[in-house]
Amino acid sequence: MRLGKIGGLLFGTLALGAGLFALTWGIQGVLASLASKDWPTAEGTVTQSELEKQRKKGGAASNQRRNRFTYTPRVTYEFSVEGQSYTGTRLSFSDYATSNEEQMQQVIAPYTAGTSVTVHYDPDKPTECALQTGFGWTPVAITGAGCILTFIGSIALVGSIRRKS
């Protein structure tokens, strides 16, 4: 199926735009995850802790028939910096989600409501915070997807521009 020159330009522009957005977002996440190791800390309190259960979509693979749900930890905590109160929800810079409910129960076990926690926060923007710091694979994956989309969009644009009709 050929898109034609206009379709190729449109596809290339959208893919390039999405790729550059993902690339920028991913690089910012990688830099923040690395910088978070040096962030100051504040004492906080967990206000909510639960597993979010979502039904998996699609797929006929045998493991998807057995494990029809994905579990994602949702932890909310409050802390103060220089008398200002903040609320955070980031557990770490790597997203946790799996069909293994027992594994996710272990992840959130230390974060039951009412538990005192150490919150790491960006000193320039305390709303950027996490309970676990350091390198995370999620921003790397976003950066990789951004590179791929940027490449595909660039190829589509160049091909469309060179196309005669």
Reported as a single tens digit per residue, the pLDDT across 30-76 is 888 888 889 999 999 999 999 998 887 655 554 545 558 889 999 99
Do 75 and 149 sit in the same domain of this protein? no
Reported as a single tens digit per residue, the pLDDT across 82-137 is 999 999 999 988 777 788 889 889 989 999 999 999 999 999 999 999 999 887 77
Do 126 and 152 sit in the same domain of this protein? no
Determine the structural domain holding residue 52 and report its residue range.
40-132
Do 47 and 125 sit in the same domain of this protein? yes
pTM: 0.69
Do 25 and 82 sit in the same domain of this protein? no
Do 59 and 93 sit in the same domain of this protein? yes
**How many domains in the chain?**
2
Do 6 and 59 sit in the same domain of this protein? no
Do 24 and 97 sit in the same domain of this protein? no
Do 45 and 22 sit in the same domain of this protein? no
Do 139 and 128 sit in the same domain of this protein? no
> Which residues are CB-contacts of 67 (< 8 A; sequence separation ≥ 6)?
56, 99, 100
- Starting from the edge strand earliest in sequence, which strands make up the sheet with 84-88, in order? 84-88, 69-81, 41-55, 116-122, 125-130
- Phi and psi (nearest 5°) for 44? -135, 180
Do 124 and 52 sit in the same domain of this protein? yes
Do 28 and 45 sit in the same domain of this protein? no
Do 50 and 91 sit in the same domain of this protein? yes
